[in-house]
Amino acid sequence: MADAPLHFEDVNEGDEAPVLTHALTRTDLVAYAGASGDYNPMHHDEVKATAAGQPSVFGHGMFSMGLLGTAITDWVGVGNVTRFQVRFARQTWPGEELSSRIVVSAKRTEGSDHLLDLDVRLVNADGEEKVVGEATAKVPTAS
């Protein structure tokens, strides 16, 4: 989480959040399967994945969404996200380095709420988009 809280006045449209980077491993896939209960063999069984026509096992979409969600809450604060929706654009593969891309698309006030609309993406080292979405965060003011 950020050292100091993010305040509405300190953010402008076009600002970018700090990048969170994670190298996806096979251990991540097994750990996530155990934590989530998603034991689809495409995520952990190389033989079954290749027999199904995949080049290898691949990451859980919700694990990728979780990485992106962590990057968002690290920036805006835990409990401040009011909306988060994504589309899974491409599979993630063990060995890929995944990085968040979060950009403020709008600032607005609704009643007493100060909101940031965010364009959110998870990309690999080649810039290939894996997860694409949007989020809204309610952030405090400095005063």
CATH number for the domain including 104?
3.10.129.10
Domain membership flag for residue 87: yes
pLDDT tens track for 66-121:
999 999 999 999 999 999 999 999 999 999 999 999 999 999 999 999 999 999 99
| 18 lies in some domain | yes
Does 114 map to a domain? yes
Inside any domain, residue 80? yes
Residue 115 covered by a domain: yes
Q: What is the pLDDT of residues 65-76, one digit of tens each?
A: 999 999 999 999
The answer to whether position 92 is within a domain reads: yes
pLDDT at residue 4, as a whole number: 66
Put simply, whether the predicted model's pTM sits higher than 0.75 gets the answer yes
Over residues 15-65, the pLDDT tens digits come to 999 999 999 999 999 999 999 999 999 999 999 999 999 999 999 999 999
Query: What is the 3-class SS of the chain, one letter each residue?
Result: CCCCCCCHHHCCCCCECCCCEEECCHHHHHHHHHHHCCCCHHHCCHHHHHHCCCCCCCCCHHHHHHHHHHHHHHHHCCCCEEEEEEEECCCCCCCCEEEEEEEEEEEEEECCEEEEEEEEEEEECCCCEEEEEEEEEECCCCC
Structural domain contains residue 32: no
Domain that holds residue 85: 8-23+60-138
Domain count, the chain: 1
Has residue 84 been placed in a domain? yes
Mean pLDDT, the chain, as a whole number? 95
